[in-house]
Structure 1
Amino acid sequence: MAPEHPAEERTPRRRPLQVAAGVLGDLLFTVGVLLALLVVYSLWWTNLTAGRHADRSAERLRRAWSAAAPTAPTASPTGAASTAAPPPYEAGGGIGFLHVPGLGAGYQVLIEAGTDKDTLADGVAGVYTAPYPSAMPWDAQGNFALAAHRDGHGAKFHDLDRLKPGDPLVVETHDRWYVYRVDATLPETSKYDTGVIAPVPTGSPYTEPGRYITLTTCTPVYTSLYRMAVWGSLVREEPMDPGRTPPAELR
């Protein structure tokens, strides 16, 4: 009698539906990993690189200021235009610094000309050149309109929604301090609403030309669906002393 052979073990065949489910699961896992890496890149890596770039640019600007010490202009009355020669206004060039005590002690952001993608990606606040060319703080009247990212690329305006009427905004230039007061905020508007940066901003409490500042960024956080705006008006300006002593709002 022939010896019995053990039954051959058979690998169960997977049904097509099971194969498809496995492939789909692997695909979803891969997509999830890629999305996580994209978030890390967008919110952490771009903040890191933009912060480094902005710090280097700020250092270069302050060195340039030190090499050309400001003259000692006399203080001008509130609302009067500065007689001091303004710093150069060139695309991508440094204009000064925005200080916002309401966003934390020591908060400052470098201000550069332009709101194009490359400029704002460097972790700065950019000055609008279109559709309404921004006025400068030293101009007799107009709207000094700025934009910065809320998330990623430095996220300099991430907490812009914390500002409220009465908060000070201080612009530091080569030879003067410009002190503004927040008058109103616009929590949300269309990204196509260019009126918020007009010389007399649409929707603001202002009804006639003056010396204004507007800060804009995306909203809600982590999206670019809408825009928000903060409006302020000039309270006073102070000449820059050799020690660059900040105004009372920053002390």
Structure 2
Amino acid sequence: MTVRLIVRTFSELCITVGTLIVLFVVYVLFWTGVKAAGATEGQIDTLQNQWAQGAVPGPTPDTGPGRGPTPAPGPGTAPAAPPPSKDREAYRGGKPFAMMYIPRFGTGWEWPVLENTEVRTLQKGLGHYSGTARLGDTGNFAVAGHRRTYGDPFKDFPKLRSGDAVVLTDGTTWFTYRIASRPYRTVPGDTAVIDPVPRKSGFDGPGRYLTLTTCEPEWGSSHRLIAWAHLDSTRPVTDGRPAAFHS
């Protein structure tokens, strides 16, 4: 009788633990994605409403003669741009201010970029490292995103290759960055990857750079994958989407 009771209790315990594991897997694989989809759509709606009301800084003038974009001469340089305006509105913590598109990840890949990299911020979209450069400015505009869970924005991160476009807009200007090399693997404490001139990026002086970061391995966080890019061109949104969307 005692043995039967022990076996029954152990069996029930195993069933309970198994059920909890299944529920956790469902939460990680499915429910966080559902939550992220709703939160991300909300952030995109917020941006579109702001832009429709003109609540963004004035457009960056075109970087070349005429109306078309002018490519940067090389990775260490960037299109000429006017000095940043001192009265531009500061990015607000946890609030969206730009949209990012990476054609390599598919035509439907679009994510809002919010200020800071707090846990709750990254549940709504991509997060801009506070203290790094503003979008399009001289320095390093650094952005983090989940590899898995909460919509899996950077699931395909390892597919990035040299020359791939990363396109962002603040509602007035398109900014096209070009990936410099394949993703670099490092540890979470390696903060030099988001320096104004990121260490080991291959960039040899001040410029207008972009750093993307995500977790490595795919379902872990013991390391980080890093991708660096340089600003290649800018274009007023009134001129339509840049050629990077069609290449």
SS of equivalent residue, structure 1 residue 235: strand
Name the counterpart of 1:44.
Answer: 30
Paired residues of 1:87 and 1:174 also in contact (CA < 8 A): no
Go from structure 1 to structure 2 and tell me whether the alpha carbon gap of 1:21 and 1:195 turns closer, same or farther (over 3 Å shift). Answer: farther
| Higher relative contact order, structure no. (Cα contacts within 8 Å, ≥ 6 residues apart) | 2
How far is 1:222 from its partner? 1.6
SS of equivalent residue, structure 1 residue 31: helix
Q: 2:47 aligns with which of 61, 80, 83?
A: 61
C-alpha separation in 2, matches of 1:137 and 1:57: 18
C-alpha separation in 2, matches of 1:96 and 1:87: 13
- The answer for unaligned runs of 5 or more in structure 2 is 65-71, 73-77
Name the counterpart of 2:133.
Answer: 135
Task: Number of aligned residue pairs: give it.
Answer: 230
Paired residues of 2:165 and 2:244 also in contact (CA < 8 A): yes
Name the counterpart of 1:89.
Answer: 91
Q: 2:121 aligns with which of 112, 119, 132?
A: 119
Write the letter of the residue equivalent to 1:126: G
Name the counterpart of 2:245.
Answer: 250
C-alpha separation in 2, matches of 1:74 and 1:151: 37
Write the letter of the residue equivalent to 1:189: T
Name the counterpart of 2:67.
Answer: none
Paired residues of 2:160 and 2:183 also in contact (CA < 8 A): no
Paired residues of 2:59 and 2:173 also in contact (CA < 8 A): no
C-alpha separation in 2, matches of 1:69 and 1:25: 61
Write the letter of the residue equivalent to 2:81: A
Map of 1:1-251 to 2, 5 A cutoff? 14=1, 16=3, 19-68=5-54, 74-77=61-64, 78=72, 79=78, 80-82=80-82, 88-122=90-124, 124-129=125-130, 133-139=131-137, 141-241=138-238, 245-251=240-246
Paired residues of 1:168 and 1:180 also in contact (CA < 8 A): yes
How far is 1:88 from its partner? 4.3
SS of equivalent residue, structure 1 residue 185: coil
Go from structure 1 to structure 2 and tell me whether the alpha carbon gap of 1:192 and 1:69 turns closer, same or farther (over 3 Å shift). Answer: closer
Report the aligned-residue RMSD: 2.1
- Could you list the per-position Cα deviations for residues 93-114 of structure 1 after superposition, in whole angstroms to 9, with x for gaps in the alignment? 2111111000001311101101
Write the letter of the residue equivalent to 1:115: T
C-alpha separation in 1, matches of 2:198 and 2:171: 27
Runs of 4+ in 1 over 4 A off after TM superposition: 69-73, 82-88
Write the letter of the residue equivalent to 1:74: P
Paired residues of 1:97 and 1:173 also in contact (CA < 8 A): yes
TM-score, scaled relative to structure 1: 0.84
- The answer for unaligned runs of 5 or more in structure 1 is 1-13
Go from structure 1 to structure 2 and tell me whether the alpha carbon gap of 1:91 and 1:154 turns closer, same or farther (over 3 Å shift). Answer: same
Write the letter of the residue equivalent to 1:136: R
